[in-house]
């Protein structure tokens, strides 16, 4: 009998234990062995984690009970991301997870809405009223999809907020029950056949040599395997995305009114997040070290939220991506592979998609060059599209109240983003570059509209409906959404009834 194929994961945290949990779920113990090495000395930063709807698919893959998961992680539900002060000080808009209105004649609803807005001016139905998730979120309510799929509530889209460390602990328990060996140790050396070559083993402080067939680097920004051992270069995108630092603190919390959305509030040197969990509200002050120093950032943050006592967690990163996240017999997942600042809550999504990609291109005996090539191609395509989407929030601003915002407004952007902006400006058209692209037409429209970009025209077919018919259709959507959401419980009440943490 041949020995099981041994996969060694370096690093715990969300990325490591998400990887271990998924692999332990799909791989049988007879043919595969999984070992995870983590060091408590290195640790992780405990912050609230905001996600997007893809995380539900990941949890469903693991067949995790949603209520049990939310109880264990002190989680709450999330229908959207709110953006405040981004185009101008005082502005507010949501990026909701579900669609606007109803597609007509094969033409996306936003074309019809933009025509309605153009014709009706101040009398137009607010955009917030023609999106189900936005309608529910602004009332601070929540429900899961109901059984009746004829109702709009049968298709409501949502994600979560949860404690990242508690999620890692939850998945660690899940993975270890399915045979994953967890070693608490520190790696002293990476044993390779030659410099930057395939990995043979990790030399640890207490457990000696841990050999393996394939290694997954979840060591965070340190990138001990893919960066240090493999020598894979990193593409630095800070010229387009200058925010590279954050300070995290607990904020004021209202357990009776837990918002079902993440708040992103722009300030003179960047933005701050508010992530509502069941037991606390996590807050972070994101900024660019080019335009302010760490001491001033922390002082400004404390004065803004009125917290002068709690210990602050300082975070640093480089927006960008690894050139080859899979090289030889090593693949990087999570921060070791690349990172985009948390504005659109894409951190765990990048981790999740890389895990699913690794399972699809499952490493094994023999040559793996083409699988690595495919993995690297799709990783680069995905994170580049996310980069453009996040970058666009900064570019489409009117703010000139600080050197930071003037830089963002005036910076040169990649052709890939400029072409999207120009296409929408011409006639409101939005297309995904590929099926691998995370953000869809709903997301791009939410951001374009919220940041004040208006097209010169809309799709010609959207002009064929009479003005009266169009107004009637949009008012009908508004009326239905108000009717179906009126009886819903508050977000806090829903949590209390279904998934309250003990």
User: What token pair was written down for 4?
Assistant: 């099981």
**326 & 469 share domain:** no
Task: Please tell me the predicted confidence (pLDDT) of residue 413.
Answer: 98
In a domain, 194, yes or no: yes
pLDDT surpassing 80 at residue 415: yes
Q: What is the pLDDT of residues 126-142, one digit of tens each?
A: 999 999 999 999 999 99
347 marked ligand binding residue: no
Mean pLDDT confidence for 69-84: 98
**Which residues neighbour 56 within 8 Å (Cβ) at sequence distance 6 or greater?**
66, 158, 159, 160
In a domain, 360, yes or no: yes
**Chain-centre distance of CA 36, in angstroms?**
24
**Maximum average pLDDT range among 29-43, 46-60, 374-388, 423-437:** 374-388
pLDDT surpassing 70 at residue 41: no
Instruction: Work out the mean pLDDT of the chain and round it to a whole number.
Output: 95
In three-state secondary structure terms, 60 is: helix
**288 & 172 share domain:** no
In a domain, 169, yes or no: yes
d(CA 160, CA 260): 9
| Domain tally, the chain | 2
378 near 69, Cβ under 8 Å? no
Kindly list the strands in the beta sheet with 76-78, ordered across the sheet, starting from the edge strand earlier in the chain. 48-50, 159-163, 76-78
151 marked ligand binding residue: no
In a domain, 490, yes or no: no
78 marked ligand binding residue: yes
Which of these ranges, 225-229, 248-252, 266-270, has the smallest mean pLDDT? 248-252
335 marked ligand binding residue: yes
**230 & 342 share domain:** yes
Task: Please tell me the predicted confidence (pLDDT) of residue 47.
Answer: 56
d(CA 188, CA 110): 56
How many other β-carbons are positioned within 10 Å of the β-carbon of residue 480? Answer: 16
Task: Please tell me the predicted confidence (pLDDT) of residue 436.
Answer: 81
12 marked ligand binding residue: yes
How much of the chain is in helix, strand and coil states, percent to nearest 5? 40, 20, 40
Q: What is the pLDDT of residues 167-209, one digit of tens each?
A: 999 999 999 999 999 999 999 999 998 999 999 999 999 999 9
User: What token pair was written down for 100?
Assistant: 């606007």
411 near 261, Cβ under 8 Å? no
In a domain, 332, yes or no: yes
**Confidence label for 105 from pLDDT (cuts 50, 70 and 90):** confident
pLDDT surpassing 60 at residue 487: yes
Stretch (H or E) spanning 493: helix 491-498
Greatest extent of the chain over all pairs of C-alpha atoms, in Å: 76
**22 & 169 share domain:** yes
14 marked ligand binding residue: yes
In a domain, 492, yes or no: no
User: What CATH number is given to the structural domain containing 461?
Assistant: 3.50.50.60
Assess whether 157 carries a catalytic annotation. no
Helix H segments across 239-329?
294-305
Cβ neighbourhood burial of 144 (10 Å; 0-12, 13-18, 19+): exposed
pLDDT surpassing 50 at residue 443: yes
Among residues 338, 358, 385, which one ends one of the domains? 385
**303 & 424 share domain:** yes
**250 & 112 share domain:** yes
How many other β-carbons are positioned within 10 Å of the β-carbon of residue 9? Answer: 27
pLDDT surpassing 60 at residue 346: yes
User: What token pair was written down for 459?
Assistant: 């799709």
Catalytic residue among 33, 71, 78, 172: 78
402 near 384, Cβ under 8 Å? no
Q: What is the pLDDT of residues 352-368, one digit of tens each?
A: 999 999 999 999 988 99
Task: Please tell me the predicted confidence (pLDDT) of residue 42.
Answer: 58
In a domain, 456, yes or no: yes
State which residues form the domain around 336. Answer: 5-75+162-236+318-385
83 near 394, Cβ under 8 Å? no
**328 & 473 share domain:** no
Among residues 385, 402, 426, which one ends one of the domains? 385
237 near 322, Cβ under 8 Å? no
Q: Please give the C-alpha separations between residue 166 and each of 61, 169, 185, in angstroms, as whole numbers.
A: 19, 5, 21
Task: Please tell me the predicted confidence (pLDDT) of residue 46.
Answer: 46
**404 & 471 share domain:** yes
**248 & 139 share domain:** yes
In a domain, 126, yes or no: yes
Task: Please tell me the predicted confidence (pLDDT) of residue 2.
Answer: 79
Q: Which of 333, 284, 223, 234 is nearest to 45 (CA)?
A: 284
Query: Rounded to the nearest 10 degrees, what angle do helices 66-73 and 164-177 cross at?
Result: 130
d(CA 199, CA 316): 29
Mean pLDDT confidence for 262-268: 98
**325 & 473 share domain:** no
275 near 264, Cβ under 8 Å? no
Q: What is the pLDDT of residues 392-406, one digit of tens each?
A: 999 999 999 999 999
13 marked ligand binding residue: yes
Task: Please tell me the predicted confidence (pLDDT) of residue 45.
Answer: 47
**396 & 473 share domain:** yes
395 near 411, Cβ under 8 Å? yes
Q: What one-character DSSP code corresponds to residue 349?
A: H
**149 & 41 share domain:** no
Task: Please tell me the predicted confidence (pLDDT) of residue 48.
Answer: 62
469 marked ligand binding residue: no
């Amino acid at each position: 009998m041949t020995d099981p194929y041994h996969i060694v994961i370096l690093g715990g945290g969300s990325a490591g234990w998400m990887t271990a949990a998924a692999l332990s779920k799909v791989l049988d113990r007879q043919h595969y062995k999984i070992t995870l090495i983590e060091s408590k000395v290195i640790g992780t930063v405990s912050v609230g984690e905001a996600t997007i709807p893809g995380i539900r698919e990941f949890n469903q893959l693991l067949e995790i009970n949603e209520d049990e998961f939310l109880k264990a992680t002190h989680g709450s539900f999330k229908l959207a991301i709110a953006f405040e002060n981004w185009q101008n000080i005082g502005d507010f808009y949501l990026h909701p997870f579900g669609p606007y209105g109803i597609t007509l004649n094969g033409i996306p609803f936003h074309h019809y809405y933009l025509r309605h807005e153009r014709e009706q001016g101040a009398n137009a139905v607010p955009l917030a009223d023609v999106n189900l998730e936005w309608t529910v979120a602004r009332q601070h309510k929540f429900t899961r999809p109901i059984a009746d799929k004829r109702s709009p509530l049968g298709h409501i889209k949502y994600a979560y907020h949860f404690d990242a460390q508690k999620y890692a602990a939850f998945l660690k328990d899940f993975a270890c029950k399915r045979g994953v060996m967890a070693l608490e140790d520190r790696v002293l050396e990476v044993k390779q056949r030659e410099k930057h070559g395939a990995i043979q083993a990790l030399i640890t402080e207490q457990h000696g040599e841990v050999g393996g067939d394939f290694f997954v680097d979840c060591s965070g920004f340190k990138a001990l395997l893919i960066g240090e051992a493999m020598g894979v270069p990193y593409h630095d995108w800070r010229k387009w995305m200058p925010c590279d630092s954050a300070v995290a603190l607990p904020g004021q919390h209202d357990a009776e009114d837990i918002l079902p959305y993440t708040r992103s509030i722009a300030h003179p040197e960047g933005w701050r997040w508010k992530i509502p969990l069941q037991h606390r509200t996590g807050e972070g002050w994101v900024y660019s070290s080019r335009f302010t120093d760490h001491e001033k950032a922390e002082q400004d943050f404390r004065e803004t939220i009125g917290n002068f006592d709690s210990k602050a967690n300082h975070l640093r990163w480089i927006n960008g991506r690894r050139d080859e996240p899979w090289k030889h017999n090593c693949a990087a997942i999570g921060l070791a592979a690349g990172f985009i600042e948390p504005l659109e809550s894409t951190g765990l999504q990048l981790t999740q998609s890389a895990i699913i990609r690794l399972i699809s291109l499952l490493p094994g005996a023999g040559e793996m060059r083409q699988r690595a090539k495919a993995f690297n191609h799709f990783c680069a395509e995905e994170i580049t599209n996310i980069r453009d989407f996040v970058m666009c929030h900064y570019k489409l601003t009117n703010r000139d109240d600080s050197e930071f915002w003037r830089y963002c407004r005036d910076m040169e952007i990649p052709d890939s983003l400029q072409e999207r902006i120009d296409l929408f400006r011409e006639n409101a058209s939005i297309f995904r570059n590929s099926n691998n692209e995370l953000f869809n037409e709903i997301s791009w429209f939410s951001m374009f509209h919220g940041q004040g970009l208006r097209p010169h025209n809309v799709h010609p077919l959207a002009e064929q409906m009479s003005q009266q018919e169009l107004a009637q259709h949009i008012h009908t959507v508004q009326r239905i959404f108000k009717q179906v959401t009126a009886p819903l419980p508050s977000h806090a009440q829903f949590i209390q009834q279904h998934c309250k943490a003990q």
